């Protein structure tokens, strides 16, 4: 059936690459689910440099432009829907309107909300430009990436260069989320240094003895250096390579860190859309996610480890996963 509806997404320009990509993916997934086109999006403000490494028009569901001779109706679907269970309110209800950033978005982690959103798009007139809510999250739609055809469509969008920091042999990459997550800021997402050091020691003992261990993070890494010298053998500590920046906000090294994660043989992600994306777009033999989320990971090939559980339980799970690939 010919597509005759066109979706527009509005990522938050002050958010980071992973978050903006999630907003754009919500539009792409909805295009798949409603047989529509997504009008080619771009990254905004904080993340605009990522436009150099992406071409969303490579997707079969994205249009680079619309024929100017077409007569199109403009529709907004972030209207007052307070009677629907699946609507999530952002900001004070009195400020919720189509011209405000504090608009209503669908709770796409709710089946009710997702179904209503899809239905609302399908009900719009043919030959319409449909404006999705500002910062609309993909939620459960991320599970569509388990479909090989949709995954291939998304992977075609991203193109990254080779960088000098990539080891010449297969390597383990661990993403330690700091920057926007500390013991005081977003503390519900914080995973302790002690947990990560135990993890580094465990992985070093059970991966091939010549495999480099690359750690990508932000901020101070002296705790890793100091503990490595004190508690690890010289053979293990010599394999650790730290890739960090003291800048806690967006900068060019963010792209290099992503490419390092993307090309790893084993990736330890950090409950972060940034490292999730590296695992989704890469070809790792094993993806392990360290996260305080209690549900299953949306990608069936990712294995989730909860840092608050008994470490001995995590230990045996990780050993089993490593034994399955080495």
- pTM for this structure? 0.86
Q: What is the CB-side half-sphere exposure of residue 15 using CA atoms within 13 A?
A: 18
pLDDT in tens, the chain (326 residues): 577 899 999 999 989 899 999 999 999 999 999 999 999 999 999 899 999 999 999 999 999 988 767 778 888 786 455 444 444 544 444 333 334 444 578 889 889 889 999 999 999 988 899 999 989 999 999 999 999 999 999 999 999 988 888 888 999 999 998 877 777 777 788 888 888 988 998 899 899 999 999 999 887 788 888 888 788 888 888 899 988 876 545 556 888 899 999 999 999 999 889 999 999 999 999 999 998 877 777 788 888 888 877 777 788 888 888 888 87
**Helix (H) or strand (E) segment spanning residue 245:** strand 240-245
* Angstrom distance (rounded) from CA 226 to CA 204: 17
* CATH architecture classification, 172-323: 3-Layer(aba) Sandwich (3.40)
Contact of 301 with 207, CB cutoff 8 Å: no
Q: For residue 46, how many C-alpha atoms fall within 13 Å in the half-sphere facing its CB?
A: 15
How many whole angstroms separate alpha carbon 107 and alpha carbon 157?
Answer: 26
| 23 touches 135 (CB < 8 A) | yes
Angstrom distance (rounded) from CA 189 to CA 180: 10
């Amino acid at each position: 059936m010919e597509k005759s509806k066109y979706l527009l997404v509005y990522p938050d320009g002050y958010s980071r690459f992973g978050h903006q990509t999630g907003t754009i993916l919500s539009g792409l997934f909805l295009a798949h689910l409603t047989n529509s086109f997504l009008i080619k999006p771009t990254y905004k403000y904080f993340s605009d440099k990522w436009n150099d490494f992406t071409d969303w028009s490579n997707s079969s569901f994205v249009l680079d432009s619309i024929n100017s001779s077409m007569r199109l109706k403009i529709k907004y679907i972030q209207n007052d829907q307070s009677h629907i269970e699946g609507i999530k309110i952002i900001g004070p209800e009195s400020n919720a309107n189509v011209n405000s950033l504090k608009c209503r978005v669908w709770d796409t982690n709710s089946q009710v909300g997702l179904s209503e959103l899809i239905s609302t798009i399908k009900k719009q007139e043919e030959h319409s430009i449909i404006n999705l809510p500002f910062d609309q999250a993909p939620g459960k739609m991320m599970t569509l990436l388990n479909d090989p055809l949709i995954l291939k469509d998304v992977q075609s969008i991203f193109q990254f260069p080779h960088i000098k920091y990539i080891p010449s042999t297969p390597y383990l990459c661990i993403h330690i989320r700091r920057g926007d997550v500390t013991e005081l800021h977003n503390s519900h997402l914080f995973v302790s240094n002690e947990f990560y050091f135990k993890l580094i020691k465990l992985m070093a003992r059970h991966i091939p003895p010549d495999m480099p261990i690359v750690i990508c993070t932000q901020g101070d890494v002296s705790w890793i250096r100091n503990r490595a010298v004190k508690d690890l053998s010289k053979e293990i500590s010599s394999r650790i390579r730290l890739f960090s920046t003291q800048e806690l906000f967006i900068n060019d090294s963010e792209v290099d860190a992503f490419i390092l994660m993307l090309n790893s043989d084993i990736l330890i992600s950090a409950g972060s859309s940034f490292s999730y994306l590296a695992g989704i777009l890469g070809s790792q033999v094993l993806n392990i996610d360290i996260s305080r989320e209690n549900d299953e990971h949306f990608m069936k090939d990712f294995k989730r480890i909860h840092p608050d559980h008994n470490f001995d339980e995590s230990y045996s799970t990780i050993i089993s996963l490593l034994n399955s690939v080495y």
